[in-house]
Amino acid sequence: MSSFTDYKIFLCSRTTLSLYYLLLTYNNNLIFYTTMFFILFYRFATSKGYWTDLYVQYFVRQVGERKAPEINRGYYGRVKGMNLLIDAFLKKTQCDCQVVNLGAGLDTTFWRLKDENIMPKKFFEVDFPMIVARKIHNIKTKPPLSKPLIETHSTDALLLDGHSLDSDRYCIIGADLRDLPTLEEKLKKFQINPELPTLFLSECVLVYMTPEQSSKLVHWVADAFPTAMFINYEQVNMNDRFGEIMIENLQRRQCNLAGVDLCQSLDSQKERFLSAGWESANALDMMTVYNMLPQEDVARIECLEFLDEKELLQQLLQHYCICWAVKDKLNLGLSQIGF
């Protein structure tokens, strides 16, 4: 069989049980489905020792069925690549900044930064209200999650309701990223400061928006935040046969990539930002990023599981990328950030 056919079979066989469970549990709700699908794979990779996350267990307890080594290595590259750029921004700004995680899901970055003592002035998360409600419930009922918020808060009580949570250093907002007036209103309500250097994060989020919608979002960020960096992780090179098979498999699960037209190449990824007023943009496919990560740690994780299909890993990583764009009114040297 060709590697493309192998990949197609791999997707069907390895994920059937998880997908079936999620679709039953969340009544075919695509928002919950994509969020939980990611966190299950993330949780399994941490259980195998690819990286350390002390907090993901409080969002999803069960490790679940075995995931293929190439998927685990792909998640490793994603997590390490994003963290490298996040940490570089915090270092460059000396943490005198804000972070806004768009479509954050059940992400645990805030807790990692707290543990490593590299917190920004405030960490914002935005997602659909139903995802936010789930996350707030976990935070309220899991002391290891709530304690770090209380420790960084100056008063006795947090501002808390069903679809938002606000403390001095951490804020979750329920909002639709396609509704920019409401998003801007809610961010202002919770004291975002446009004059502070601001890092925006997006992982497989813009691709679910139409090109017009995502372009309006990145244009709004560029207009509203004069000193900013935007890091976007998502698909790339989707116009070849491998990319077509990825799209076909997603469509079978009623998962439509509305923004896939902007995922045709690294140049199309960069152009989304450059045409929206960003000063500079860079993009690398994840195979390149993987090869630029600290090789001692890469060697460590490659010993965790045997991988007999290295070509498949390479093809998979070549179809995801990290793109980062900057505006630097304060001349902090943000354009120097990279791998």
Contacts 24+ apart (CB under 8 A), 2-5: 3/309, 3/311, 3/312, 3/315, 4/241, 4/242, 4/245
Residue 320, phi-psi category: left (phi > 0), alpha (psi -120 to 50), beta (remainder):
beta
Return the exposure string of 224-251: e unless at least 16 CB atoms fall within 10 Å of the residue's CB, then b: ebebbbbbbbbbbbbeeebbebbbebbe
Six-digit token pair at 118? 């590299």
The strand pairing partners of 125, in sequence order, are: 101, 172
Residue 176 counted as an annotated binding residue: yes
Report d(CA 246, CA 191) in Å as an integer.
Answer: 40
Six-digit token pair at 33? 């489905």
Residues whose CB is less than 8 angstroms from the CB of residue 61 and which lie 6 or more positions away in sequence, other chains included: none
Helix/strand/coil for 179: coil
Helix or strand run (H / E) with residue 280: strand 280-285
Six-digit token pair at 75? 């998640």
Residue 203 counted as an annotated binding residue: yes
Residue 78 counted as an annotated binding residue: yes
Amino acid symbol at 136 = I
Helix/strand/coil for 41: helix
Residue 177 counted as an annotated binding residue: yes
Nearest-5° Cα angle at 104, 30 to 118: 165
Q: What CA–CA distances, in Å, run from 57 to 47, 82, 117, 154, 246?
A: 9, 21, 21, 27, 29
CB 176 within 8 A of CB 183: yes
Binding site for S-adenosyl-L-methionine: which residues?
A: 78, 103, 176-177, 203
Binding site: which residues?
A: 78, 103, 176-177, 203
